[in-house]
C-alpha cells in the first residue's frame, strides 16, 4: 500500500518506524511546523520530522489542513500522492472530511487508550489521574467525530501502582507501533472486523493545564499520589516551590498529624486528608536539578511538623 503518515511528538515515532520498515510505501509524512525553542529561539523540528528525514521520507508541515492557503496546498499534495491509506498518530490537527475520504482505505488513528474510554487529547495523563489499573492502544477508523470511529484492533496492558506518565507514555508508544503493524496486516488480508464504539461507555480526556499539578494535601493520599503520577506535582516548602516526579503511598497511617505535615523526615513523607501519607521518591527543589529524594535529604534538613502548602 501507498501510505501517508501524520504525527508530531515522540509518541508517534515508533509508529512511523514500524510503517517505514513494514514493506509498504511511506509516500510522505505530515507533521506540525517547527517551533522556536531556547534562548536563541532556534527552530526545532518535531520528533516525527527527525525520524522521517532519517528514512528519507518527504516531509510536509502545513499550519492547517482545514483553512487557508496551507490547507489548499496540502490537499493538492495529498491528491497528487493518491495514498491508499493515511495513518494518524498524535498529529495535533483535526482532519477535514475531504482528507478523511481521500484514501481508498480511509484514515486510521492509533490512540493511546482502550476506546471508547478516554477519547481526546490527554488519555495517558487521565488514566493515571483517575487511578485506572488498565489501559492500552486502539487502532480506529477515523470519522469526523473526536475519536468516535469504529475500533479495529486493541491491545491492553496493566498499569503499575507507581507507574508515572513518562513510563506509561514510553510503553504505550512502543505498543502503538505493534498495533499499527497488526492493523496494516489485517487490512491487507481483509480480516479486519470493525467494532462500533458504545458512546454510553465513553469518557473524555481534555488538555492538561499547569495548575492541575498543584498538590492539595487535604485530598486523600491516593489522589495526591495519582497527581504526581499523572502530571508531576508541586508544592511549596519554606516559601519555595518543589516539584515531585515520583511518589508512593506510605505503609502506615498518621491520623494525628495535620494535612501537608511532614511525618517522616528520613523518607520525606507527607500526611494527606484521609490520614494516610505519600512518600516523595524523586524531587526537584526550586533552582536545582531533578534528583532522588535521598540526595535531596543529604543537603536539606527536614523537621517533623514542617508543612507543605
Closest by CA to 110, choosing from 229, 18, 209, 231, is 18
In which residue are the cell numbers 504525527 written?
Answer: 7
Q: Indicate the residue among 180, 201, 222 that finishes a domain.
A: 201
Residue 308 resides in a domain: no
Closest by CA to 113, choosing from 201, 232, 186, 6, is 201
Answer yes or no: do 242 and 173 share one domain.
no
262 φ, ψ to 5°? -75, 120
Answer yes or no: do 174 and 233 share one domain.
no
Give the pLDDT confidence score for residue 221 in this predicted structure.
Answer: 98
Answer yes or no: do 236 and 195 share one domain.
no
User: pLDDT for 161-192, tens place per residue?
Assistant: 999 999 999 999 999 999 999 999 999 999 99
- Domain containing 145 equals 2-201
- Would you list the DSSP string of 86-99? EEEES-SSPPPHHH
Residue 309 resides in a domain: no
In which residue are the cell numbers 454510553 written?
Answer: 200
Q: Indicate the residue among 172, 201, 230 that finishes a domain.
A: 201
Residue 138 resides in a domain: yes
Answer yes or no: do 142 and 68 share one domain.
yes
Q: Which long-range contacts (CB under 8 A, 24 or more apart) does 300-304 make?
A: 301/265, 302/262, 302/265, 302/268, 303/262, 303/265, 304/261, 304/262, 304/263, 304/264, 304/265
Residue 29 resides in a domain: yes
Closest by CA to 2, choosing from 133, 176, 188, is 188
Answer yes or no: do 231 and 190 share one domain.
no
**How far is the C-alpha of 223 from the C-alpha of 128, rounded, in Å?**
10
**Prior bond of 116 cis (ω within 30°):** yes
Answer yes or no: do 94 and 216 share one domain.
no
Answer yes or no: do 237 and 179 share one domain.
no
Grid coordinates representing 150 are 469504529
- pLDDT < 50 stretches in the chain: none
Instruction: Count up the domains in the chain and report the number.
Output: 2
Residue 22 resides in a domain: yes
Answer yes or no: do 247 and 103 share one domain.
no
Structure letter (DSSP) for residue 119: B
The answer to whether residues 274 and 266 touch, using CB atoms and an 8 Å cutoff, is: no
Check which CATH number belongs to the domain holding 268 and give it.
3.10.25.10
The answer to whether residues 4 and 30 touch, using CB atoms and an 8 Å cutoff, is: yes
Residue 281 resides in a domain: yes
Answer yes or no: do 58 and 165 share one domain.
yes
Check which CATH number belongs to the domain holding 99 and give it.
3.40.50.170
Grid coordinates representing 216 are 492539595
Answer yes or no: do 131 and 154 share one domain.
yes
**How far is the C-alpha of 138 from the C-alpha of 111, rounded, in Å?**
5
Helix (H, G, I), strand (E, B) or coil at 256: coil
Helix (H) or strand (E) holding 69: helix 68-81
- Would you list the DSSP string of 157-201? EE--TT--HHHHHHHHHHHHHHHHHHHHHHHHHT----B---GGG
**How far is the C-alpha of 257 from the C-alpha of 277, rounded, in Å?**
10
Answer yes or no: do 189 and 215 share one domain.
no
Give the pLDDT confidence score for residue 39 in this predicted structure.
Answer: 75
Q: Indicate the residue among 201, 219, 253 that finishes a domain.
A: 201
Give the pLDDT confidence score for residue 174 in this predicted structure.
Answer: 98
**How far is the C-alpha of 112 from the C-alpha of 76, rounded, in Å?**
30
**For the packed helices 165-189 and 13-20, what is the interaxial angle rounded to 10 degrees?**
30
Residue 21 resides in a domain: yes
pTM: 0.95
Helix (H, G, I), strand (E, B) or coil at 246: strand
Residue 307 resides in a domain: no
Closest by CA to 146, choosing from 100, 183, 179, is 100
Answer yes or no: do 194 and 215 share one domain.
no
Amino acid at each position: 500500500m501507498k501510505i501517508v503518515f501524520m504525527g508530531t511528538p515522540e509518541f508517534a515515532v515508533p509508529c512511523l518506524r514500524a510503517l517505514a520498515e513494514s514493506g509498504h510505501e511511506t509516500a510522505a509524512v505530515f507533521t506540525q511546523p517547527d517551533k522556536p525553542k531556547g534562548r536563541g529561539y532556534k527552530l526545532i523540528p518535531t520528533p516525527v520530522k527527525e525520524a522521517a528525514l532519517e528514512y528519507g521520507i518527504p516531509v510536509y508541515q502545513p499550519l492547517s489542513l482545514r483553512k487557508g492557503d496551507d490547507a489548499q496546498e496540502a490537499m493538492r499534495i495529498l491528491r497528487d500522492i493518491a495514498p491508499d491509506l493515511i495513518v494518524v498518530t498524535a498529529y495535533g490537527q483535526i482532519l477535514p472530511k475531504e482528507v478523511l475520504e481521500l484514501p481508498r482505505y480511509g484514515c486510521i488513528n492509533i490512540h493511546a487508550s482502550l476506546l471508547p474510554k478516554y477519547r481526546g487529547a490527554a488519555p495517558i495523563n487521565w488514566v493515571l489521574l483517575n487511578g485506572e489499573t488498565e489501559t492500552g492502544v486502539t487502532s480506529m477508523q477515523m470519522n469526523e467525530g473526536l475519536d468516535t470511529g469504529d475500533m479495529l484492533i486493541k491491545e491492553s496492558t496493566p498499569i503499575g501502582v507507581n507507574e508515572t506518565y513518562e513510563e506509561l507514555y514510553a510503553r504505550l508508544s512502543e505498543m502503538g507501533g505493534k498495533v499499527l503493524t497488526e492493523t496494516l496486516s489485517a487490512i491487507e488480508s481483509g480480516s479486519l472486523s470493525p467494532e462500533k464504539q458504545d458512546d454510553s461507555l465513553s469518557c473524555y480526556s481534555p488538555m492538561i493545564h499547569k495548575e492541575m499539578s498543584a498538590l492539595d494535601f487535604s485530598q486523600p493520599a491516593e489522589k495526591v499520589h495519582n497527581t504526581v503520577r499523572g502530571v508531576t506535582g508541586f508544592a511549596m516548602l519554606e516559601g519555595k516551590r518543589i516539584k515531585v516526579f515520583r511518589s508512593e503511598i506510605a505503609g502506615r497511617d498518621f491520623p494525628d498529624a495535620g494535612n501537608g505535615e511532614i511525618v517522616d523526615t528520613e523518607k520525606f513523607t507527607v500526611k494527606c486528608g484521609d490520614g494516610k501519607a505519600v512518600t516523595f521518591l524523586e524531587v526537584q527543589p526550586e533552582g536545582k536539578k531533578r534528583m532522588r529524594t535521598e540526595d535531596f535529604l543529604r543537603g536539606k534538613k527536614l523537621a517533623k511538623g514542617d508543612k507543605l502548602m
